[in-house]
Structure 1
């Protein structure tokens, strides 16, 4: 069972969710609130990503392997002495990497990817808390289109829909850490202070391994 006030004692918090759900924005704000070290992905460093969205079958494998190696190297930093004792807020779990691999790779490519993942993936540190952000596929699609990031312009609606479904399936079975499941449909943690404050209150009130936050309009 998590501690009575999990945010006061958590040293490693992860915000997760599909593309367009707002996980990185929330991770940044939460890190600032907790005076923690942001521990964020850097998709802009992947040299294959733009080409992948233009020609997925051709560039899926190098794109996925680059992300896998990048995430593995990144997570190894958490074991370094200069990170010892720091509070960290990240925007990904290593365990989510196969979600994307299964969606984009052929069967043979996924078999190769899985061998590499199983042999090389480090024992990633278990977070003290995971905040899983959900949204309907149509909401994710609208948000991705609205923010207009060049590399995301080629992402198909079908891909975002399937990604949301796979995330939901993954977190239905995830039990490695306490999880706060957040329906982000009617929430804006960046621009609305009340929404952010309500989220903090819900997390602090968590009992057991799983909590839920759904704010209806």
Structure 2
């Protein structure tokens, strides 16, 4: 079984991945953030480092998906390979940060890889308003995220809503985390687990 968690920067993907991994006793696969050699440079100069960053994430995510598909353990995954292309790279291209030449090259790599990828059994999309995202980003205090602009987060949110509106690769669960505190309130976390069980196993119908 494979659950993937999608959502904008600061929406709580990693925290929920950790909590669900412990709850179900499943393996957790996390996004390569701390060991990413391009992320800090990217937030300082997006135009210069956009292509390098996106190729790094794409390669890392493809390796991660290969591990998940070969693994016999159930897995909770923090962010998907689909987001790399349909959200982040597309957003950079539409905002003129990623050049047409680089974007075409990137999409060629993605399109070649995606034929070898199996979608998750369930995709959980964490929907969040900008205020919640900003508060969470400030709370975790990563130095390289201090230069993230609000208009960049808004643009990503628009990309997410467009992508989720047409997503059909697997079962989909949308959780509005702007209205929940699944860390501080056990009932909020229990509600998410109940909805996951309903989607995966048909329970509580």
| Fold agreement, TM-score > 0.5 | yes
Match of 2:203 in 1: none
Cα separation, partners in 2 of 1:73 and 1:51, compared to 1, 3 Å: same
Summarize the alignment of residues 21-170 of structure 1 with structure 2, pairs less than 5 Å apart: 21-80=11-70, 83-84=71-72, 86-98=73-85, 99-104=87-92, 105-121=98-114, 123-170=116-163
Q: Which structure 1 residue ranges, 4+ long, deviate > 4 Å from structure 2? A: none
In structure 2, what is the Cα distance between the partners aligned to 1:204 and 1:74? Answer: 24
In structure 2, what is the Cα distance between the partners aligned to 1:160 and 1:64? Answer: 17
> What TM-score comes out, normalization by structure 1 length?
0.84
Match of 1:181 in 2: 174
* Displacement after TM superposition at 1:159 (Å): 0.5
Q: Which moved more, 1:133-142 or 1:149-158?
A: 133-142
Number of matched residues?
195
Cα separation, partners in 2 of 1:77 and 1:52, compared to 1, 3 Å: same
Cα separation, partners in 2 of 1:76 and 1:205, compared to 1, 3 Å: closer
> What TM-score comes out, normalization by structure 2 length?
0.89
In structure 2, what is the Cα distance between the partners aligned to 1:110 and 1:201? Answer: 40
SS at the partner of 1:45? coil
Task: Show structure 2 runs of 5+ residues with no match.
Answer: 93-97, 201-205
In structure 1, what is the Cα distance between the partners aligned to 2:25 and 2:139? Answer: 30
In structure 1, what is the Cα distance between the partners aligned to 2:192 and 2:21? Answer: 14
* Displacement after TM superposition at 1:108 (Å): 1.9
